Structures are given as structure tokens and as C-alpha cells.
Structure 1
Amino acid sequence: MGHPSNFDGGDPELGHPLPGNFFGMIYKGGVIVPMLFGMFLMVIVFSIERFIVISKAAGSGSVEHFVRKIQSLLSAGSIDTAIAECDKQKGSVANVIKSGLKKYKEVETDQTMDIEQASLAIQKDIEEATSLEMPMLEQNLTIIATLVSTGTLVGLLGTVTGMIKSFAALATAGAPDQAALANGISEALINTATGISVSTVAIIMYNIFTSKIDKLTYSIDEAGFSIVQTYASTHK
């Protein structure tokens, strides 16, 4: 970035970045810009990691289609087939539903429980299985959420340092140092733009992932409700 070819006169320290030269502009952005690029890289890395994990949690096929199939099998009383479908689907949603179905079979053979107790036992088992799966889905999302605000704040810090340099150039005796003034303003604007970019990407990715997790949670709740209701309606 500090290569002489990126600057007027081949001087990275005193020369201005060539018009439209991105690397030269970044080099003149000061010490805050590398921090912002590090934060941007963190957003990209954690976004890829979350995308992989959440995609695996959804399983091998459409979650909506899977839930509908489980509901259809429950209505037909094919619990073993439903468990086999969970093994095919894999992922967090299938794991939770499979746990609920196994509990369904377990309470079905327990003569000491009435319908209400059995239904509560199934519901509790599903809730416990969900609580075990959810932390894996939400892991590292707090880092992305933190980068939403810190990206803007660090960018603002770079903006302030750039403006301080600009005003220092104006404060010199006699004619203002035009080069220092321009460099200070350039540094301020580069930091502002980079900080906003980091925060924008971070908040977009955070909202995408939370939306995906909410969708998976809704599918688990929908299937869990169907399991409990099916048991209650078929064991009156």
C-alpha cells in the first residue's frame, strides 16, 4: 500500500495518493485503518463460520418440507418412520424432533403417567433438547453484534485524529501547510468510510443469521407442538 508508485512524485510520506488509487488512500488513512480492516476481516470470517454452522443445523433438505412430513407421519401414527426421517434430515432441528419422538414412544409405554403428565414430559424433553442445540447456533453472533457498534466508533476515532491533524496544519504560523491539511482531511474521510463499511456489513450479516435462527426455532416449536398435540389427541 505504501509503494511509491501509488503516490505523486513517488514519495509515500509527502506525496498525495494518485487520483483513484485505493491503496494509496488507505496508506494515508493512518494507524486506525489497519484496525478497521482487521475488524472487517473478523466480520467476514465469523460470517462464513456462522453460515456453515447454521446451514448444517438446518439439515440436508428443506426444513419446512421436513416439518410437514413429520406432521403427516404423526397424524398417521408412524412414529418409527418419523424417527427414521429425522436420521435422514440430520441437523439441530431433526435432533430436537427426534428427541421428542423418542420421548413420545417412552411415555406411551409408561402406564404410571396420565395424559397430562405424559404431554408435559414430552414438552419438557423437547425444551431441554432445544436448549442444548441453541447455544451452538448463537455462538459468535455476539462478536458480530459487537463489531456493529465498534466499527463505527473506531472509524469515528480515526476521523477525529484526522481532523486534529488538519487543524494542526491550519494552526501553523504563516500560510497553512496545504499538504498536511489535505492529508488530515483525507485520513478523516477514509476512516469514516471504512468504519461505516464495517458496521454496515456486520449489521446485515447479524440480521441475516438471527432471521435464520428464528426460522429454525419456529420450525422446532411447530413440530414440538404437533408431537404433544398428537399424543394428547390419540391417548384420550
Structure 2
Amino acid sequence: MNVSKNDEQVVARKKGGLNPGVIIPILFVIGVAIYLFVLGNPGNFKPDPRVSGASVALADIEAKELHPESFMGIVYMGGPIVPILITFMITVIVFSFERYFVLKRAAGSGNLDNFVVKVRSLLNQNRVDEALEECDRQQGSVGNVVKEGLTTYKALANDTTLNKEQKMVALNKAIEEATTLEMPMLEKNMMILSTLGTVATLVALLGTVIGMIKAFFALGSGGGTPDAAALSTGISEALINTALGIGTSAIAIILYNFFTSKIDGLTYKIDEIAMSIQQSFAEFN
């Protein structure tokens, strides 16, 4: 079965960028490793005075009688929700870098504003070939869309079988199809940032609730004398999860809005040049 050029381009763009199904499980393993071996490093905890020798911190960890003496030790006390939140944070960072480089590549090799000005100026003079050369130099998603529009422009200018109205429709359709082909690459993985902006807070809330349950359990047990250590541990677990979740959510939302504005800017540039192409074609053909 033959596959059209457009279908091949769609498949290529869908394959572009990081694959979440592969990357996220790897990041989860990294998050758990950070929790166990970095935050849970025995050096982050004070030795229990009841135990002596080289196995002091290890004995503390095995007995769950931890006495953090560093910030990393305090974060470790956040409990089993912490590695999940660490995974969320790492995921936000990784996919933010990925989106940054993808969008930078999509903008092309030169200054995008200058490219738009040059192409519009050349189109106003009906210098289509020179505008195509500018597209080859610029490259990127914007350059690809404009090049497709200009290539169609030249083909339609020499077509004698269609009237002017039909040519304008065909030109507009070609530009829209080229834009549609580029958009999946620009928007891919943006949903991950959007989702984590909400889910991180909810997971943190779960950790907060678990910590508060432990705190109230400690408050109610002990025959009228609350276990101060268990109470403080439960409260600290709740607050640690809250802090990690809110921080991750805030970063994800900020970066999502930043990249969304970048995508909107690229789309606006494409629309701006597309209008110039249509106006030039209507004027000179």
C-alpha cells in the first residue's frame, strides 16, 4: 500500500520528541533511587544515642527511629509519597528542556522577526524565488510552512486550468495543511506539563492527609499522654508533601504557560506570512 507524502510527514512528527511511555517509567526509577539513596543516606541522620558503633545510622533506619540533621533527611521523612513527587518534579524539568529545544528548533536558525519582515518585503515585490531561499536558510517549522505555501504559490501561478478564485482556495488549503502538519510537533508533551500542574497538588494533598492521620493517631494514643515525637513526625510529613507538591505544581504551570505563549507566537508568525502570501498572489496573479 502506498503512503502519501503528507502521511509520512505526520508519522515523522508524531515520532519526534521524547516518548512519555518510555521516559516516565525511567524517571520514576530515578525518583525512587534519589529518595532511597540520596535523601535516605545515613549521613543525613543523627545517630540514636542508644546505639553505638559503625552501624548507628543503619540501625536507626531499620528501626524507623530517624533523627534528621540535614534538609535532605527532613525531606526523606515525608514518607512514601515523596518519591512520587520527586518523579513529578524531574518529569517537569526533563520535558521542559525537551520543549525548549523543540520550540527553539521550530523557530529556525535565524531571527524569526527578521525572517518575517524579509519574506513579507520580498512578497510585496513578487520575488518568490528569493523568498524561498530565505525559507531554506531559516528552516524550522515556520520556514517549512512558508516554503510549502510559496511552492504552491509558484505552481498555481503557472496553472492555467484553474480560475483565480480556485487558485486562492488551493493556496489557502496548502498553507493550512502545512500548518496542521507542524502543530503536533509543537504541542507534543505539553499535556504532561498541564496534567502535572494539577496532579502534583492532588498527590501532595494525599501525602498531607496521610501525615495528618498519623499526627492525630499519635495525639489520640498513649493513654492521655500524646507521643510528641510521633505527633511532630506526622505533621512534618504532611508539610513536606505539601511543599513538594505546591512547588512542582507552580513550576509546571509557569512553564506550561511559557511554552504555550511560545507556540502561540510561532502560530501568529505563520498566520502573518500566510496572509502576505495570499495578498501577494491576489495582487500579482
TM bin (shorter chain): over 0.9
1:16 corresponds to which residue? 67
1:115 corresponds to which residue? 164
1:191 corresponds to which residue? 241
* Pick aligned residue for 1:226 from 276, 281, 284: 276
Q: Does 2:204 correspond to 1:155?
A: yes
Q: Over residues 42-64 of structure 1, what are the superposed CA-to-partner deviations in whole Å (9 max), with x where a residue is unaligned?
A: 00111111111110000001111
Runs of 4+ in 1 over 6 A off after TM superposition: none
Contact 1:14 1:179 in 2 (8 A): no
Alpha-carbon shift at residue 117 of structure 1 (Å): 1.4
Q: Does 2:124 correspond to 1:86?
A: no
* Pick aligned residue for 1:134 from 180, 183, 200: 183
In structure 1, stretches of 5+ residues that fail to align are none
SS of match in other structure, 1:9: coil
TM-score by structure 2 length?
0.80
Q: Distance in 1 between matches of 2:149 and 2:40?
A: 60
In structure 2, stretches of 5+ residues that fail to align are 1-38, 49-59
The letter of the residue matching 2:41 is H
Contact 1:56 1:91 in 2 (8 A): yes
The letter of the residue matching 2:40 is G
Number of corresponding residues: 233
The letter of the residue matching 1:230 is S
Contact 1:152 1:199 in 2 (8 A): yes
Q: Distance in 1 between matches of 2:47 and 2:66?
A: 6
Q: Over residues 11-44 of structure 1, what are the superposed CA-to-partner deviations in whole Å (9 max), with x where a residue is unaligned?
A: 34324322xx211111100000010000100001
Q: Over residues 79-102 of structure 1, what are the superposed CA-to-partner deviations in whole Å (9 max), with x where a residue is unaligned?
A: 011101100000000000000000
Identity within the alignment, %: 55
1:178 corresponds to which residue? 228
Q: Distance in 1 between matches of 2:45 and 2:182?
A: 53
Q: Distance in 2 between matches of 1:108 and 1:28?
A: 71
1:7 corresponds to which residue? 45
RCO higher in 1 or 2 (8 Å CA, sep ≥ 6)?
Answer: 1
* Pick aligned residue for 1:202 from 231, 252, 277: 252
Alpha-carbon shift at residue 233 of structure 1 (Å): 1.4
Contact 1:16 1:183 in 2 (8 A): no
2:125 corresponds to which residue? 76
Q: Distance in 2 between matches of 1:149 and 1:77?
A: 50
TM-score by structure 1 length?
0.96
Q: Distance in 1 between matches of 2:191 and 2:124?
A: 40
* Pick aligned residue for 1:215 from 262, 265, 270: 265
SS of match in other structure, 1:224: helix
SS of match in other structure, 1:106: helix
1:25 corresponds to which residue? 74
Q: Over residues 116-147 of structure 1, what are the superposed CA-to-partner deviations in whole Å (9 max), with x where a residue is unaligned?
A: 21111111100000000000100000111110
Alpha-carbon shift at residue 221 of structure 1 (Å): 0.3
The letter of the residue matching 2:143 is A
The letter of the residue matching 2:238 is A
The letter of the residue matching 2:230 is A
